[in-house]
Amino acid sequence: MNTYKLGNKVTCIIRAYSSGKIGDMVMDYNNQPYTIVKSATANLSFTDINTTAKSSFTQLAYNNSKLSQVQISDVTLNDKILNLIFLKSEAKLVSKVENQIADDNNLIYLTPIANEVYQVFIYNSNGELDKAIGTHNTDEPIMVSEPNKDYLVCYQYEANKGYSLDKPENMYFTLDLLVTGNKEDNTSDMNIHVEKCALKIDKNMYFNQHSNAVDLIFTVLDTGENYIALE
């Protein structure tokens, strides 16, 4: 009898269960890999199925369990992961706050981060609103009340891309979890295959010193084709 020791990190291949579109990416084939998540933490949950037959005492007992959920944790946010959990959005304004000092002519110049900025609010050093502008061309200066004074400027500009916080259309995925461990103290690989599952959106994001990350939770559909393959 072999003894297996499993590692604590997995590589997860997320595949499209059927052809279709995920965000901007077209999946031409069933089972086509969409993205690969490396060095992730995975949890597999099983649901027990218990059946008993009784008269005055138990005569028959049946116990089984089915894989019901796969959670991939600490997944770094990138474009492909964002496409999985959010819809593309036309509304993509970014807010920015900056400090500017007026010159001798009562003029301030905004950082040229975009040609046009919107909803410009300018506050003086006392926290009082000095000026509000709907749309402003950053090539032009803005006149304020006093020269050589500090001003706090808050405005918005259009970003390159945006995502809605609403859930995208439901899609089905196939998962392959690649686990590296050892067998009898020799390196050995294990493959956990989940044939069909739906992504249950967990939009809770956690921001830490390493990176911005999310958890991907997949609800497993019972196809009878989930398995573990050992090298």
69 and 183 both lie in a single domain: yes
Q: What is the pLDDT of residue 43?
A: 87
Domain termination site, one of 158, 173, 188? 158
Pairing of strands 87-88, 206-207: unpaired
Left (φ > 0), alpha (ψ -120 to 50) or beta: where does 113 sit?
Answer: alpha
- My answer on whether 13 and 70 are in the same domain is yes
Q: How many domains does the chain have?
A: 2
State which of 108, 135, 158 marks the end of a domain: 158
Are residues 77 and 129 located together in one domain of the fold? no
User: Do 142 and 46 share a structural domain?
Assistant: no
Q: Do both 127 and 177 map to the same domain?
A: no
**98 and 76, same structural domain?**
no
Same domain, 61 and 10: yes
Please report the beta strands in the chain, taking only residues with DSSP state E, as ranges in sequence order: 4-16, 20-22, 25-27, 33-54, 58-76, 87-88, 93-101, 107-108, 116-123, 129-137, 142-143, 150-158, 163-164, 172-183, 186-200, 206-207, 212-220, 227-230
Specify whether 35 is located in the same domain as 148: no
Task: Measure Cα distances from 31 to 26, 49, 103, 192, 209 in Å.
Answer: 13, 29, 62, 15, 35
Running DSSP on this structure, what letter comes out for residue 160?
S
Does residue 167 contact residue 148 with C-beta atoms inside 8 Å? no
Range of the domain at 125: 93-158
- Let me know whether 72 and 108 are in one domain: no
pLDDT at 12: 94
> Do 70 and 142 belong to one domain?
no
At 214 the pLDDT is: 82
Contact 36, 7 (CB under 8 A): no
CATH code, domain carrying 25: 2.30.110
Do 107 and 128 lie in one domain? The reply is yes
Is the same domain home to 182 and 82? yes
Q: Which of 107, 130, 158 is the last residue of a domain?
A: 158
DSSP code, position 77: P
Amino acid making up residue 179: V
Binned average pLDDT, 10 residues per bin, the chain of 231 residues: 60 93 86 92 81 55 75 86 78 90 95 92 95 95 95 93 68 90 66 91 56 84 89 72
